[in-house]
Amino acid sequence: MSEEKHSGGRPRDADAAASIKAATLKLVRERGYNKVSIAAIASAAGVARQTLYNRWSTKADLVLEAVFEETGHYADAPLHNPNKSCKLQLEAFLIQVFTHLKESGSPIRSLIAAAQDDPAFREALRERFVKPREVLVIDLLQRAQDQGELSRTRDVKMLSNFIHGAFWYALLNGEPVDARLARDIANEIFVA
């Protein structure tokens, strides 16, 4: 499954991808997406620029993979805890997502920016970042409806859009994305 056919030809350097991703993550976190050049990443990883383009077609693709290598990881822990109310589970989930954003929010904003002029990359970002979180939130809201914590009259898909939209809006407008926002969102979604 992870083995490509490779019927002849020089094999890819086994370590290159890992060292490129490591250099990318390090440099992007230190200096920011736009202040890191592909040349600097290749140099730090000890490879030629073309080696990098053999594996990722754009800078955005590379940074996406470097930043989200461990994902789901940031999008599944605190769900489905039957001891807490769904409202508190939502708040905990958002706090977890926002904690991740504290570390990676800046490159993620740059990735959202890059997606605006590259439909293929927008789809990749959607698969990697957007959809997994939508699924978790929608599932949580449906459980809340099943347990009577949320009215059946509410449109869970639109509520999910409200939730994600609210933090995207804050993120992209440079407003704080923190525990307070998580609490305010959860309170307003589960308003009596």
Q: Which residues contact DNA by CB under 7 A?
A: 6-13, 16, 36-40, 46-51, 53-54, 57-60
What angle, 0 to 180 degrees and rounded to 10, lies between the N-to-C axes of helices 156-172 and 86-115? 60
CB 121 within 8 A of CB 47: no
Q: State the nearest-atom distance from the C-beta of 48 to a copy of itself, in Å.
A: 27
140 near a copy of itself, judged by CB under 8 A: no
- Least spacing, CB of residue 1 vs a copy of itself, in Å: 30
Share of the chain residues as helix, strand and coil, in percent rounded to the nearest 5: 65, 0, 35
Judged by CB under 8 A, the residue of 26, 29, 122, 143 near a copy of itself is 122
Residue 121 binding a copy of itself, by CB under 8 A = no
- Is 14 one of the binding residues for a copy of itself (CB under 8 A)? no
Q: What is the C-alpha separation between 106 and 112, in angstroms, rounded?
A: 10
Give the start-end residues of each E strand in 21-148: none
Q: What is d(CA 137, CA 46) in angstroms, rounded to the nearest whole number? A: 41
CB nearer to DNA: pick between 60 and 75? 60
172 binds, among a copy of itself, DNA, none (CB under 5 to 8 A by kind): a copy of itself
- Contacting residue, 6, 14, 30, 192, with a copy of itself by CB under 8 A: 192
Cα 44 from Cα 22, distance rounded (Å) = 9
Q: Torsion angle, CA of 47/126/103/28, rounded to 10 degrees?
A: 30
Q: Which residues bind a copy of itself (CB under 8 A)?
A: 32-34, 109-110, 112-117, 119, 122, 126, 130, 151, 153-155, 158-159, 161-162, 164-170, 172-174, 184-185, 187-188, 191-192
